[in-house]
Amino acid sequence: MTDSPPASQPHKRLRSPLGIRDLEAAMKHSAALEEKIQNKTAQIGVIGLGYVGLPLISAFTNAGFRCIGYDVDQNKVDELAAGRSYIKHVGSERVADWIKRDVLEPTSDMSRLGEADVLMICVPTPLTDSRDPDLKYVELTTAAIAKTLRPGQLVILESTTYPTTTRDVMVPLLQNNSSGLKCGEDYFVAYSPEREDPGNPDFTAAGIPKVVGGYDGISGELAVKLYSHAIIQVIPVASAEIAEACKILENTYRAVNIALVNELKTLFDRMGIDIWEVVDAAKTKPFGFQAFYPGPGLGGHCIPIDPFYLSWLARRYGMSTRFIELAGEVNSRMPRYVISQLAEFLNQVGKPLKGTKICLLGMAYKKDVDDPRESPSFELLELLLERGVELTYNDPHIPRLPKMRHHDNPDMSSTELTAEFLASQDCVLIATAHSAYDYEFIVKHSRMVLDTRNATKEVADGREKIFKA
């Protein structure tokens, strides 16, 4: 991976002035692209057809643009071409409509990247085993773009990353492999962080304000004009670095506040105080407080990852982010805390963990979605199996355990929650509070319920069976 500049090296200027001839060329290429954007003949290429890419396609097709969807996973391409979706909140009927109207053409052929006028990169940005940023997907995608890059194209990175990635990682790869084309003159580059809230019908991709920062002024203006056609509100900022830092701030803010509540939870548990009631009481204050809730760990692509990106970047500049690193440590240890609480509660009824029958409810990282990325449920699953538990799971949105980058999942399918099945389990562990669950039914027929999400708060009968962790 390309390194960020060390602390002793001053950062590059954010605005590299163009000469008169360079400016004329830049204006020529930008004017041609701007005209295509204005009359909606610009083809939008979305690279990475997942939880970010498909909602983007929805926003731009709704705005009257035609999209080319690129993905190296041929299975995804085939599913979309057949009019089928693999993401719950982007339904198959919507995908089938795109195909029928010929506003989406999915392909795995990366030699066709030059056909799009705008390329939006929506690929994963995970962590390495040592919790350093892993930008291999961004780098591979950028290198593929460079092979077909042509004058007048706009390349936008949407993947979550650390500040300086666009300028110091992407642009050099484009410059070194694009036959002499110059960024900001022949082609244009910007960063606009994805903002997705899967499962929340109140916030679609088109309905969430978009922050946009360019590699240079012309690039930023083009990106703003593009997004303005499809997104409810566009917020231009002075540089790609500011847009990148904005995304890191948003998610680190959430991670730190969740860590605070998780740490208070462990203290209040020991004191016999219900953290959920404490938060509910505190949020009645109409100013100066925002409610965050505890859980079995952090999930999703952003919140568990972004703080470590920022900590890594700080070390590159000779600094430490102790507060942020501590928050990461607190959140990372929550799955083990849940297991320790489970062992303690089982011990009270004379049962060891080993050989105990446990059903894990919910494998998705949040309620009512089919998104398993970084879900703490998978760590809970591994920890339980390591301790010899007879484990089953149920998730109405994840019928079969998927393959994961950092987890060696067993071949396991979701088990139906019948009265007989629940009664046969020693404990039901609620890890994700899906709305589809009938918690009255679950508590009624279970011997013991360990609730990590306060999902059973409205259950009146059988509360003696419920433990919170």
Assigned fold of 335-469: Rossmann fold (3.40.50)
CA dist 121 and 135 (Å) reads 12
Residue among 387, 372, 344 at smallest CA distance from 432: 372
pTM of the model: 0.87
- Domain spans of the chain, in order of start: 20-238, 335-469
- Among candidate residues 182, 147, 231, the one with its CA nearest the CA of residue 26: 182
134-137 CB contacts, 8 Å cutoff, 24+ apart: 134/1, 135/1, 135/2, 135/161, 135/165, 135/169, 136/1, 137/48
Percent over 90 (pLDDT), the chain: 75
Whether the pLDDT of residue 350 is over 60: the answer is yes
Q: Is the pLDDT of residue 130 over 80?
A: no
Question: CB of 361 within 8 A of CB of 394?
Answer: yes
Q: What is the pLDDT of residue 300?
A: 60
Bridge partner list, 157 = 121, 191
CB 261 within 8 A of CB 292: yes
- Return the closest-CA partner of residue 366 out of 395, 327, 407, 335: 395
Average pLDDT over residues 46-73: 96
Averaged pLDDT, 158-165 = 93
Mean pLDDT of 144-165: 95
Task: Indicate which residues carry an active-site annotation.
Answer: 302
| pLDDT, mean of residues 88-99 | 93
Band of pLDDT at residue 11, cut at 50, 70 and 90: very low
Q: What is the mean pLDDT of the chain?
A: 91
In percent, the amount of the chain with pLDDT more than 70 equals 93
Can you tell me the distance from the alpha carbon of 38 to that of 27, in angstroms, rounded to the nearest whole number? 16
- For residue 292, the model assigns a pLDDT of 95
Task: Decide which of 385 and 324 is more confident.
Answer: 385
Mean pLDDT of 179-201: 87
Per DSSP bridges, beta strands 188-191 and 210-214 are antiparallel
Q: Does domain 20-238 sit in CATH 3.40.50.720? A: yes
- Identify the band that residue 85 occupies on the pLDDT scale cut at 50, 70 and 90: very high
What's the Rg (C-alpha) of the chain? Answer: 24
CA 269/CA 314 separation, integer angstroms: 34
For 282-340, the pLDDT digits (tens) are: 999 999 999 999 999 887 666 667 777 888 888 888 998 888 888 988 999 999 999 99
* Band of residue 266 on the pLDDT scale cut at 50, 70, 90: very high
Instruction: Count the neighbouring beta carbons within 10 Å of the beta carbon of residue 248.
Output: 21
Give the pLDDT of residue 12: 43
**Comparing 20-238 with 335-469, is the CATH topology the same?**
yes
Q: What is the pLDDT of residues 408-440, one digit of tens each?
A: 788 999 999 999 999 999 999 999 999 999 999
**Angstrom distance (rounded) from CA 188 to CA 193:** 17
| Residues in a beta bridge with 190 | 156, 214
The H-assigned helical ranges of 272-333 are 275-282, 306-316, 322-332
pLDDT at 16 over 70: no
The residue length of the chain stands at: 469
Q: Which of 3-12, 134-143, 316-325 has the highest mean pLDDT?
A: 134-143
pLDDT tens digit sequence for 231-243: 999 999 999 999 9
DSSP three-state, residue 449: strand
Distance, CA of 341 to CA of 73 (rounded, Å)? 40
Average pLDDT of span 450-465: 95
The per-residue pLDDT for 174 is 95
Q: What is the DSSP letter of 302?
A: S
The answer to which of 209-218, 315-324, 391-400 has the lowest mean pLDDT is: 315-324
DSSP label of 168: I
pLDDT of residue 204: 76
pLDDT value of residue 21 = 52
**Is pLDDT at 261 greater than 90 in this prediction?**
yes
The pLDDT, as a whole number, for residue 178 is 67
Amino acid 149: pLDDT: 96
Could you read off the pLDDT of 17-39 as tens digits, one per residue?
A: 455 557 777 888 999 999 999 99
What DSSP string runs through 172-191? HHHHHTSTT--BTTTBEEEE
Q: When comparing pLDDT for 45 and 308, which is higher? A: 45
